[in-house]
Amino acid sequence: MKFFFTFLSLITLSSSFREGFIQEYDEKVKEAYSEYLVTEHYNPDYDYGLKLVKGLIDGEIRYGFCFYSENSRDYYVRVSYNNQNYKIDATSRGDIQAVALDLKEGDTFSILVYSSRSDVVESLGKFKNIQIMSKSDFNQVEDKNLGRGKGSQLSSLKADFEFNQEWFYLTAFLILVACGVIIFVYYRRRQGLFNKEIRSQNVFNFREFISSNFDASQSQVYNEADYEVIEEGDYSKESGVENEEETYFEKHYAWARDEDETSGFDLNGYLQSKGFVTEYRILSEDEKNLIMLELMRLKDEKRITRDEYLEETAKLWKK
């Protein structure tokens, strides 16, 4: 007895929901169309219902339909138009309320109801190969329903393409596994980037570059006989004009006289004030790189000379 009442309650709720859904659609149709006709399919032997509407919206012939299923997701609907199937926005249950479709006069379309379990189309002859009538033909029809004629947004037809999330995730997983296997094989065989010889090819060695520059500057010997000592030029007392060659040299190469001189900048004290440890041999490579950046900045700002920069850099990277 309890089972009977439960079953009866479910039927009552389903019937109530169906009536409310259809009544809501009827109200939308009445609001949108100025005049319209209704073709309805509902049979107690079927667990779904279908209603077709055609009429005038803003002076144009429009078609719409409403689909309802007793059981959620038992069916899905497609619109066949120009030899291609399209889908319409539906609720989470699979029900549809399309007030007006975006179709052209004179074209033919069909409303196809498929079973979700077998993907077999239902036999609904009067909803297949529907030719969109002209406005003059519609005006000749009698017993039309009158609406408010406020218009409605057209329901667009969407390409019937289903994105399968499960296949997407499975494909992504297989790609990741394949990449992992390839990386593991290269790692075990010490190939590619896992080969030290390959990693060291065409790589700039900063330590060797600094050492070679410093060694070259230390090994360079200047002989007094190799160059001529030029005494400081004096001004011409009569004309007050500097020696032209001296003026050009000072104007364009003013830095040359000070290149071998020290700046007098307390580099060691400066680095310590910045929080750096100046006992370079105990520092890590990352810490040395930070000091290197600071030395480069000081040289660019001309707070230390090039010789001081090279000398301190050699101390920094000395093994």
Residues 242 and 113 placed together within one structural domain of the fold: no
Assigned domain for 304 exists:
yes
Q: How far lies 110's CA from each of 19, 39, 262, in Å? A: 25, 14, 93
Residues 41 and 146 placed together within one structural domain of the fold: yes
Residues 153 and 245 placed together within one structural domain of the fold: no
Residues 240 and 139 placed together within one structural domain of the fold: no
Q: Hey, CA dihedral for 80, 84, 89, 93, is it positive or negative?
A: positive
**Residue 12, pLDDT above cutoff 70:** no
**Structure confidence at residue 160 as a pLDDT band (50, 70, 90):** confident
Residues 141 and 215 placed together within one structural domain of the fold: no
Assigned domain for 13 exists:
no
The tally of domains found in the chain comes to 3
Under DSSP, the state recorded for 220 is -
Assigned domain for 8 exists:
no
Note the pLDDT of residue 5.
43
What does the alpha-carbon distance between residue 292 and residue 316 come to, in Å, rounded to a whole number?
8
Residues 144 and 30 placed together within one structural domain of the fold: yes
What does the alpha-carbon distance between residue 177 and residue 169 come to, in Å, rounded to a whole number?
12
Which residues, other chains included, contact 59 with Cβ-Cβ below 8 Å and sequence gap of 6+? 135
Residues 39 and 107 placed together within one structural domain of the fold: yes
pLDDT over 70, % of the chain: 71
Residues 56 and 87 placed together within one structural domain of the fold: yes
pLDDT-wise least confident of 23-27, 151-155, 165-169, 243-247: 243-247
Are 49 and 74 in contact by the 8 Å Cβ rule? The answer is no
Note the pLDDT of residue 246.
52
Of 126, 159, 192, the residue that ends a domain is: 159
Are 147 and 58 in contact by the 8 Å Cβ rule? The answer is no
Assigned domain for 109 exists:
yes
What is the distance, to the nearest Å, from the Cα of residue 189 to the centroid of all Cα atoms in its chain? 36
**Structure confidence at residue 239 as a pLDDT band (50, 70, 90):** very low
Residues 144 and 76 placed together within one structural domain of the fold: yes
Note the pLDDT of residue 105.
87
Of 131, 159, 187, the residue that ends a domain is: 159
Residues 183 and 222 placed together within one structural domain of the fold: no
Full residue range of the structural domain in which residue 185 is found: 165-200
Of 200, 224, 256, the residue that ends a domain is: 200
Assigned domain for 3 exists:
no
Residues 70 and 152 placed together within one structural domain of the fold: yes
| Tokens of residue 243, six digits | 């020696």
What does the alpha-carbon distance between residue 92 and residue 159 come to, in Å, rounded to a whole number?
19
Q: Hey, CA dihedral for 177, 179, 182, 185, is it positive or negative?
A: negative
Residues 192 and 295 placed together within one structural domain of the fold: no
Are 278 and 288 in contact by the 8 Å Cβ rule? The answer is no
| Category of 281 on φ-ψ map: left (φ > 0), alpha (ψ -120 to 50) or beta | alpha
**Structure confidence at residue 249 as a pLDDT band (50, 70, 90):** very low
Assigned domain for 10 exists:
no
**Which one of 214-223, 235-244, 266-275 scores highest in mean pLDDT?**
266-275
**Residue 6, pLDDT above cutoff 60:** no
Are 35 and 56 in contact by the 8 Å Cβ rule? The answer is yes
Note the pLDDT of residue 281.
86
